[in-house]
Structure 1
Amino acid sequence: MQAILDKIAEKAGSDLVTLLAETLTGSELNSLLLEVFDRKTASMRPADLLRQYAINRFVQPSDTDVIQLRTKELAVLQLLQALNFTPLELSPVSLLGTSSVLGSVDQKKIISATRGTEVLSDATNAMAIHIASQQQLHSQAFSSFCTTHRHIRTPPVKVKGHSAHFTIACCVSAGTDTGNYNFETTAITTHFTAIQRILKEIFDIDVQYFKLQPRAGYKNSEQLLETITRHLKDSHPIQVDTTVSPNAYYQGIQYKAVITHQGNDIEIADGGFVNWTQKLLQNKKARFFISGLGIEYLSRIL
């Protein structure tokens, strides 16, 4: 990457990256990029598109059974709605910086676009911004939302059955700290129950256990883990990985939902507490819990 940037800077005769990133205003950069892309496409021919299609993994369709996947998506949303999650239909793009500013994800892993947008790579980030913009957290009310969305990410695929773009069921719960970890225990119980029911009732597979992983960045993390473990032990199968890991993404607790398929343990869902609404609303009492479930991957392997 740096070699390419150096080559471009040499051609331009200046520090082009600094000029574009720090000197131009957002509207100036957007106008420039629109003109650049307009000129680039003006010289392209249909044969060029076909050649690019053969080598660009981001634009090729998934090989999943689309009817089965859509049927499962609808069933998941209907079940979640019955469990008091409000379904949302998100835009295919989110604000530029949605993943890197909130989730500390490298922007190079995201497909950035013009007009202040990026291709949506994580629906939970976008839902956090939507909820904060609607001032859902200005009261102490507990609220939950869900969606199914096709995500796209740029890092090379390393796991068989994974692809550059994929559909995930995403759930979030928002609220305010009212003491005694009331939000935390309610949110994690709500999500674990939803995941168990989705897997059992829609995919006919059981959760073997939920793995709780302590994470830094949460006040009294040990007490949080102890409270949640005690709260869940009689209602959900849990295991605790006591290795504390610094994590810029999750705060306090991260979890994995583990299933067994053909003798192999698979981490099919992932989630935890994040501080995104705290940042967005500048309110230390704001609380947010997220979950992502790989429903396309499930449809493929089952």
Structure 2
Amino acid sequence: MRAGEVVSDPTNALAIEAALRRRHQEEVHLAAVHRVLRAQDFGPGMSAHFRLFALVSSARAVGSDSTQARLLIRHLTYRQTVLADLAPTAAPQLHVTTFDDQVTQERLADTVRPALDGSTVPLVDEPERTRARGYYTGCALRISILGGDLEIGDGGFTDWTARLSGNAKERCLVSCLATERLADRVAH
């Protein structure tokens, strides 16, 4: 018998590891590539078995959402760089939604957007998004190609490390990219 592990989302496991590492580190940044299996039917052309490249970052909040801004810049800059290199002709976009969080909206305007200026991968506001409200706290991300028509990634802030550590000051940002979906679209 072969040892194996099945997960539906690698960010959950990474958040557990981040909470453990946060006991001894100021900030934790983790990444993993994992094949996942999800039970729900995603519809035609979609697979319940696919590979995700996940990022999880965790740090203590220091006020005015500056920690959240720093983590967002880190994830979004990385995603911009990768998409600009791997899929420049696929019209990649990063979408951001703030769920009625005024301070996060301010940090997006005065800190995050200026740090991301100059990339060929735009950061697009998506205020109409309601999906994952409650799952993500304050801010959610979506990664798309083909001018926004094909979603290849998702993410946002969660309360996972805060709950795991029993510390409400903990912040955790997760984001995933479906690597096979991206590779399939870029190859065509």
Q: 1:259 aligns with which of 122, 142, 145?
A: 145
Distance 1:92 1:226 in 2: 45
Q: 1:238 aligns with which of 113, 120, 123?
A: 123
Distance 1:268 1:231 in 2: 26
Structure holding more helix per residue: 1
Describe the superposition over 1:218-268 as per-residue Cα deviations: whole angstroms up to 9, x where unpaired. Answer: xxx11212212332333242222334747231000101122227xx72222
Please tell me whether the aligned partners of residues 207 and 257 of structure 1 are also in contact (alpha carbons under 8 angstroms): no
**Relative to structure 1, is the Cα distance of residues 140 and 239 closer, same or farther in structure 2, using a 3 angstrom cutoff?**
same
1:223 counterpart = 2:108: no
SS in 2 for 1:155: coil
Distance 2:154 2:29 in 1: 17
% identical equivalent positions: 26
**Relative to structure 1, is the Cα distance of residues 206 and 179 closer, same or farther in structure 2, using a 3 angstrom cutoff?**
farther
Q: 2:14 corresponds to which residue?
A: 127
Unaligned runs of 5+ in 2: none
Shift of 1:272: 0.7
Q: After TM superposition, where is structure 1 displaced by more than 6 Å over at least 4 residues in a row?
A: none
1:178 counterpart = 2:58: no
Distance 2:49 2:94 in 1: 26
The TM-score with structure 2 as length reference comes to 0.83
Task: Give 1:100-249 correspondences, 5 Å limit.
Answer: 119-132=6-19, 134=20, 136-138=21-23, 141-160=26-45, 162-205=46-89, 208-215=92-99, 221-234=101-114, 235-236=116-117, 237-243=122-128, 245=130, 247-249=133-135
Describe the superposition over 1:18-39 as per-residue Cα deviations: whole angstroms up to 9, x where unpaired. Answer: xxxxxxxxxxxxxxxxxxxxxx
Distance 2:142 2:126 in 1: 11
Distance 1:276 1:213 in 2: 19
Distance 1:258 1:215 in 2: 20
Structure holding more strand per residue: 2
Unaligned runs of 5+ in 1: 1-90, 94-118
Count, aligned residues: 178
Task: State the AA in 2 paired with 1:171.
Answer: L
Q: Which has the higher contact order (CA 8 A, sep 6+)?
A: 2
The TM-score with structure 1 as length reference comes to 0.54
Distance 1:182 1:192 in 2: 15
